[in-house]
Amino acid sequence: MIPKSKLKIRKMRVEDLERVLEIERISFSNPWSRNAFLYEIESDVSYPWVIEMDNKIVGYSIHWLILDEAHLSNIAVDPLFRRRGIGKFLLEKIIESVKKMGARFLTLEVRVSNTNAISLYTKMNFKVVGIRKNYYTNPVEDAFIMIKNFD
Protein backbone atom coordinates (compact mmCIF):
# COMPACT_ATOMS: atom_id res chain seq x y z
CA MET A 1 0.00 0.00 0.00
CA ILE A 2 1.19 3.46 -0.88
CA PRO A 3 0.96 5.96 1.99
CA LYS A 4 -1.86 8.45 1.37
CA SER A 5 0.58 11.25 2.20
CA LYS A 6 2.43 10.46 -1.06
CA LEU A 7 -0.73 10.94 -3.16
CA LYS A 8 -2.07 14.25 -4.44
CA ILE A 9 -5.41 14.78 -6.18
CA ARG A 10 -6.00 17.84 -8.33
CA LYS A 11 -8.17 19.05 -11.20
CA MET A 12 -7.25 17.61 -14.59
CA ARG A 13 -5.73 20.16 -17.01
CA VAL A 14 -5.34 20.10 -20.78
CA GLU A 15 -1.59 19.59 -20.40
CA ASP A 16 -2.31 16.33 -18.50
CA LEU A 17 -4.09 14.73 -21.43
CA GLU A 18 -1.15 12.89 -23.02
CA ARG A 19 -0.50 10.99 -19.78
CA VAL A 20 -4.23 10.51 -19.09
CA LEU A 21 -4.76 9.16 -22.62
CA GLU A 22 -1.82 6.80 -22.16
CA ILE A 23 -3.43 5.31 -19.04
CA GLU A 24 -6.85 5.28 -20.75
CA ARG A 25 -5.54 3.34 -23.77
CA ILE A 26 -3.85 0.64 -21.71
CA SER A 27 -6.79 0.36 -19.31
CA PHE A 28 -9.76 0.09 -21.66
CA SER A 29 -10.53 -1.79 -24.87
CA ASN A 30 -12.67 1.11 -26.10
CA PRO A 31 -10.81 4.20 -24.81
CA TRP A 32 -12.19 7.69 -24.63
CA SER A 33 -10.88 10.19 -27.17
CA ARG A 34 -8.91 13.35 -26.47
CA ASN A 35 -12.02 15.35 -27.40
CA ALA A 36 -14.10 13.45 -24.84
CA PHE A 37 -11.64 14.42 -22.10
CA LEU A 38 -11.51 18.02 -23.36
CA TYR A 39 -15.30 18.18 -23.15
CA GLU A 40 -15.19 16.95 -19.54
CA ILE A 41 -12.50 19.48 -18.59
CA GLU A 42 -14.72 22.29 -19.91
CA SER A 43 -18.09 21.01 -18.61
CA ASP A 44 -19.87 22.76 -15.74
CA VAL A 45 -21.16 19.49 -14.25
CA SER A 46 -17.99 17.43 -14.66
CA TYR A 47 -15.17 17.00 -12.16
CA PRO A 48 -12.10 15.58 -13.94
CA TRP A 49 -9.31 14.77 -11.50
CA VAL A 50 -5.83 13.30 -11.69
CA ILE A 51 -3.99 11.57 -8.89
CA GLU A 52 -0.24 12.05 -8.68
CA MET A 53 2.57 10.32 -6.85
CA ASP A 54 5.97 12.02 -6.86
CA ASN A 55 4.60 14.56 -9.40
CA LYS A 56 3.69 11.80 -11.88
CA ILE A 57 0.09 11.13 -12.87
CA VAL A 58 -0.73 7.56 -11.85
CA GLY A 59 -4.50 7.68 -12.31
CA TYR A 60 -7.52 9.83 -13.00
CA SER A 61 -11.25 10.00 -12.60
CA ILE A 62 -14.23 11.87 -13.97
CA HIS A 63 -17.41 12.25 -12.01
CA TRP A 64 -20.48 14.37 -12.55
CA LEU A 65 -22.82 16.11 -10.18
CA ILE A 66 -26.20 17.12 -11.51
CA LEU A 67 -28.47 18.55 -8.83
CA ASP A 68 -28.20 15.94 -6.05
CA GLU A 69 -27.14 12.99 -8.23
CA ALA A 70 -23.49 12.01 -8.65
CA HIS A 71 -22.18 9.65 -11.32
CA LEU A 72 -18.70 8.19 -11.72
CA SER A 73 -18.16 8.13 -15.48
CA ASN A 74 -14.50 7.11 -15.69
CA ILE A 75 -11.74 5.99 -13.35
CA ALA A 76 -8.42 4.30 -14.04
CA VAL A 77 -5.04 3.70 -12.44
CA ASP A 78 -1.87 2.96 -14.40
CA PRO A 79 -1.43 -0.85 -14.36
CA LEU A 80 2.06 -0.42 -12.86
CA PHE A 81 0.47 1.19 -9.79
CA ARG A 82 -2.65 -0.96 -9.33
CA ARG A 83 -3.50 -2.97 -6.22
CA ARG A 84 -1.72 -0.44 -3.99
CA GLY A 85 -4.75 1.49 -2.72
CA ILE A 86 -4.63 4.35 -5.24
CA GLY A 87 -8.02 3.62 -6.82
CA LYS A 88 -9.62 3.18 -3.40
CA PHE A 89 -8.13 6.46 -2.18
CA LEU A 90 -9.37 8.29 -5.29
CA LEU A 91 -12.85 6.80 -4.91
CA GLU A 92 -12.94 7.76 -1.22
CA LYS A 93 -12.12 11.36 -2.16
CA ILE A 94 -14.82 11.39 -4.85
CA ILE A 95 -17.39 10.14 -2.34
CA GLU A 96 -16.29 12.71 0.24
CA SER A 97 -16.48 15.51 -2.34
CA VAL A 98 -19.91 14.70 -3.78
CA LYS A 99 -21.40 14.20 -0.31
CA LYS A 100 -20.16 17.66 0.69
CA MET A 101 -21.77 19.08 -2.46
CA GLY A 102 -25.14 17.57 -1.53
CA ALA A 103 -25.29 14.34 -3.53
CA ARG A 104 -27.75 11.76 -2.22
CA PHE A 105 -26.01 8.90 -4.04
CA LEU A 106 -23.24 7.95 -6.46
CA THR A 107 -23.85 5.66 -9.43
CA LEU A 108 -21.55 3.96 -11.92
CA GLU A 109 -21.46 1.30 -14.62
CA VAL A 110 -18.88 -1.47 -14.66
CA ARG A 111 -18.25 -4.37 -17.05
CA VAL A 112 -19.71 -7.54 -15.57
CA SER A 113 -16.32 -9.21 -16.17
CA ASN A 114 -14.32 -6.54 -14.30
CA THR A 115 -14.09 -8.51 -11.07
CA ASN A 116 -11.33 -6.33 -9.57
CA ALA A 117 -13.38 -3.15 -9.90
CA ILE A 118 -16.58 -4.87 -8.74
CA SER A 119 -14.73 -6.15 -5.67
CA LEU A 120 -13.51 -2.63 -4.82
CA TYR A 121 -16.95 -1.10 -5.31
CA THR A 122 -18.60 -3.83 -3.23
CA LYS A 123 -16.09 -3.31 -0.39
CA MET A 124 -17.03 0.37 -0.49
CA ASN A 125 -20.73 -0.50 -0.09
CA PHE A 126 -21.89 -0.06 -3.67
CA LYS A 127 -24.80 -2.35 -4.56
CA VAL A 128 -25.75 -3.79 -7.95
CA VAL A 129 -29.17 -2.38 -8.85
CA GLY A 130 -29.45 -3.34 -12.51
CA ILE A 131 -27.86 -4.40 -15.75
CA ARG A 132 -27.38 -2.44 -18.97
CA LYS A 133 -27.49 -5.01 -21.78
CA ASN A 134 -24.68 -4.74 -24.35
CA TYR A 135 -23.54 -1.45 -22.80
CA TYR A 136 -19.90 -1.91 -23.70
CA THR A 137 -18.33 -2.54 -27.10
CA ASN A 138 -15.03 -4.11 -28.11
CA PRO A 139 -16.02 -6.64 -26.84
CA VAL A 140 -19.76 -6.30 -26.44
CA GLU A 141 -20.60 -6.86 -22.81
CA ASP A 142 -23.24 -6.02 -20.23
CA ALA A 143 -22.65 -3.51 -17.46
CA PHE A 144 -23.71 -3.70 -13.87
CA ILE A 145 -25.33 -0.51 -12.62
CA MET A 146 -24.07 0.08 -9.10
CA ILE A 147 -25.11 2.65 -6.53
CA LYS A 148 -23.89 3.90 -3.18
CA ASN A 149 -26.56 5.73 -1.20
CA PHE A 150 -25.56 8.40 1.29
CA ASP A 151 -28.84 8.52 3.23
- Residues catalogued as catalytic: 109, 121
CA distance 36 to 28: 14
CA atoms within 13 Å, Cβ hemisphere of 47 = 18
Burial 110-125 (b: 16+ CB within 10 A, else e): bbbeeeebbebbeeee
> Cβ distance 59 to 73 under 8 Å?
no
Contacts of 109 (CB under 8 A, 6+ apart): 132, 135, 143, 144, 145, 146
Is residue 44 within 8 A of residue 8, CB to CB? The reply is no
Cβ-contact 90, 118 below 8 angstroms: no
